[in-house]
A and B are shown apart, each in its own frame.
Chain A
Amino acid sequence: EPEVTQTPSHQVTQMGQEVILRCVPISNHLYFYWYRQILGQKVEFLVSFYNNEISEKSEIFDDQFSVERPDGSNFTLKIRSTKLEDSAMYFCASSLGGTTPYNEQFFGPGTRLTVL
């Protein structure tokens, strides 16, 4: 069964450094998402992406964040200058469509980002 994959599984970086988190969505899916979960807190939406552009972004997704689909398979989240508070588990998700019943989001295993 196809799955969303994410690399790396764990990333450690210094404050102020740039990081790129990578995701490979399920191949025939059209909608892509990033969420994050700070330890002990709820899963929070960051951004959704469709047809090569951002569909929606949350208040968390400020100018330090960007997303890209550089080729036909990868979907990346870039944080330009990491802060301590960016330490979290980052989940990528994809869905076939945007409306019921095709809007089931399939999640990747997550990338744990630790900012020192």
Chain B
Amino acid sequence: AQRVTQPEKLLSVFKGAPVELKCNYSYSGSPELFWYVQYSRQRLQLLLRHISRESIKGFTADLNKGETSFHLKKPFAQEEDSAMYYCALIRGSTLGRLYFGRGTQLTVWP
């Protein structure tokens, strides 16, 4: 069965510090991994996906199949990065059902 684990419910860093939000998954096939973000009073929105291998708002995430991880990183956190971050997975064979982790609330202090 597929599962997405985000071990940290809360994460706090100071502005300018590096930040890493952890995500591990379990799935026997080839998943597609995503990071969704929800800023305060806003809707869930896609931040990035592993297939595009791009950097969005300074964030990057690399899929490590050996460690079954898809950690989200940013070298210098900004206050506006404070939000709820969800790691999510789509199984290769489905039309698009997202399996979410429980989310990590990131707070960036000034």
Contacts and interface: CB of A to CB of B under 8 A. Distances in A.
What size tier do the contact residues of chain B reach? 20 to 34
Interface of A: 3-4, 31, 33, 35, 41-45, 48, 50, 55-56, 58, 91, 95, 98-101, 103-110
A55 B95 contact: yes
Q: Binding site of A, secondary structure by majority: helix, strand, loop or mixed? A: loop
A51 B44 CA distance: 25
Contact of B95 (A3, A43, A91, A98): A98
B34 to A, nearest CB: 8
Given A35-B98, A48-B97, A55-B95, A107 B51 contact: no
B96 A101 contact: no
Contacts, number: 60
A103 B95 CA distance: 8
Q: Binding site of B, secondary structure by majority: helix, strand, loop or mixed? A: loop
B73 interface: no
A43 to B, nearest CB: 4
Interface of B: 32, 36, 42-46, 49, 51-52, 86, 90, 94-103
Given A91-B44, A105-B46, A109-B43, A44 B95 contact: no
